Amino acid sequence: MSDIYLDNNATTQVAPEVVAAMLPFLSEQFGNPSSLHSFGNRVAKALSDARKSVQQLLGAELPTEIVFTSCGSESDSTAILSAVRAQPERKEIITTTVEHPAVLNVCSYLEKNEGYKVHWLTVDERGRLDLDQYKQALSDQVAVVSVMWANNETGTLFPISEMAELAHQAGVLFHTDAVQAVGKLPIDMKSSKVDMLSLSGHKLHAPKGVGALYVRRGTRFRPLLRGGHQERGRRAGTENVPGIVALGKAAELALQNIDVENTKVRGLRDRLESAILSAVPRCFVTGDPSNRLPNTANIAFEFIEGEAILLLLNKAGIAASSGSACTSGSLEPSHVMKAMGIPYTAAHGTVRFSLSTHTTAAEVDRVISEVPGVVARLRKLSPYWGEDGPKANPEEAFAPVYA
Ligand code: PLP
């Protein structure tokens, strides 16, 4: 029985078509795309085709709006730092408390070291933003809004079109970290007011080490990497040609598969969730149930540790991930669970199952059959779980760890 991979928000399998597309660029097609001879020209043509594929996936107006980078984190850093460097007179930033560290840590760096005022927008228990709070923070002092399109842990979607429109009306640049959204949701930059958008190859069946930043034509821009004139002077460094070709192929496939994500993948995810919810007592789905990525199920199993669930699932050949990370000896629930105010008795026990177009119904069935047994085994060992369910006041036992 082969292992089941339900950790696609962490990274995805490189699609076989993508491997095939990139292989020639690891062998005979080795030219430098900046060279004027035919070795260079052939490779430059491949880069240009890949750029067009990414343009199409994003519904961007022009291929030149796509800047290739090394990953989603680089795209995020480039976007935020470009916006603040291009407008030094503006000293405020708007972001949220549930961003990926790729945005969170850039904003807190600017707050701590460069005196920026960061408006950290909070979320409710379903991970939703309060747009009034956002409108109040918008002003001509804000250099950039950086808000994720889809949350990597819960899959919750933010109202990016509406938020970008509001930023646009206030004359503020708008960046979205769409690393989890691209390839899973239809995206159309032509009809949106988003100025910059980050994506990452390895989240959509391309390899690691390649990403892109969409920069709307006319956006004030300062490069993160200065040097050669690659990417029209917006990102110096000889291009990662095999990676970019791979991203181009992955973008093509993603565009073809958007419907599959929203029909087959969504159906499998819903089946997984409802089967687990009905078979396991005291568990619930985190995030906004009606407004989520089609592939993500983040389930909180109360009174047990997510990491313990993962270890037992892993033994059964199932790969998922948990919302808690072992830091300094204690299991801290993730910043996303904390921001949503998920009680610590549940936040400790979150497990994220993230599917892809490669996931099969048989795999989902096997996960459905394994999870209830794993949870029951762990609850037998849990000091907070008795014969018929949770013991009285189990919250108190977790409180010191959560503080
Ligand atoms: N943003 C989000 C929402 C992510 O989920 C991730 C990766 O998990 C990143 C940014 C960082 O992307 P990369 O791993 O390509 O740097």
The alpha carbon of 102 and the centre of ligand 1 are apart by a number of angstroms equal to: 7
Q: Which residues contact 381 (CB under 8 A, 6 or more apart)?
A: none
Average pLDDT value for residue range 81-106: 98
Looking at residue 394, its pLDDT comes to 58
Q: Does any ligand 1 atom lie closer than 6 A to the CB of residue 240?
A: no
- Each residue's pLDDT tens digit, 47-90: 999 999 999 999 999 999 999 999 999 999 999 999 999 999 99
- Every domain of the chain with CATH number 3.90.1150.10 lies at 4-10+258-397
Half-sphere exposure of 162 (CA within 13 A, CB side): 9
Cα distances from 131 to residues 108, 159, 160, 345, in angstroms, run 22, 9, 11, 29
Nearest to 180 by CA among 392, 356, 46: 356
> What ranges in 189-262 are assigned the alpha helix state H?
241-260
For 268, the token pair is: 């499998």
Looking at residue 55, its pLDDT comes to 98
CATH number of 4-10+258-397: 3.90.1150.10
Q: Does any ligand 1 atom lie closer than 6 A to the CB of residue 98?
A: no
For 249, the token pair is: 């192929």
Looking at residue 395, its pLDDT comes to 57
Burial code (b: 16+ CB inside 10 Å, e: under 16) for 55-78 equals bebbebeeeebbbbbbbbbbbbbb
The alpha carbon of 72 and the centre of ligand 1 are apart by a number of angstroms equal to: 5
Mutate to test the pocket of ligand 1, among 154, 158, 179, 198 (most ligand atoms within 8 A of CB): 179
Looking at residue 383, its pLDDT comes to 83
Residue 107 bears catalytic tag:
no
Residue 399 has pLDDT above 90, yes or no: no
75 vs 86: CA distance, rounded Å: 16
> Which atom of ligand 1 is least distant from the CA of 151?
3
Q: For tokens 């037992």, what's the residue?
A: 312
Three-state DSSP class for residue 355: coil
The alpha carbon of 227 and the centre of ligand 1 are apart by a number of angstroms equal to: 25
Q: Does any ligand 1 atom lie closer than 6 A to the CB of residue 211?
A: yes
The alpha carbon of 378 and the centre of ligand 1 are apart by a number of angstroms equal to: 31
Question: What's the angle, vertex CA 126, arms to CA 121 and CA 130, rounded to 5?
Answer: 35
Q: For tokens 């177009």, what's the residue?
A: 357
Q: Which helix (H) or strand (E) holds 360?
A: none
Mean pLDDT of the chain: 94
The alpha carbon of 281 and the centre of ligand 1 are apart by a number of angstroms equal to: 33
Cα 22 → chain centroid: 24
Q: Does any ligand 1 atom lie closer than 6 A to the CB of residue 104?
A: no
Average pLDDT value for residue range 342-366: 95
- Each residue's pLDDT tens digit, 154-184: 999 999 999 999 999 999 999 999 999 999 9
CATH class of 16-256: alpha beta
- Every domain of the chain with CATH number 3.40.640.10 lies at 16-256
Confidence of residue 328 (pLDDT cuts 50, 70, 90): very low
Looking at residue 400, its pLDDT comes to 43
Nearest Cα residue to atom 14 of ligand 1: 72
DSSP result, 164-203: HHHHHHTT-EEEEE-TTTBTTB---GGG---SEEEEEGGG
Across the chain, which distance is largest between two alpha carbons, in Å? 76
Average pLDDT value for residue range 272-287: 97
125 vs 130: CA distance, rounded Å: 12
Q: Does any ligand 1 atom lie closer than 6 A to the CB of residue 200?
A: yes
Asked if residues 4 and 319 have their Cβ atoms less than 8 Å apart, the reply is yes
Q: Does any ligand 1 atom lie closer than 6 A to the CB of residue 243?
A: no
Residue 326 has pLDDT above 80, yes or no: no
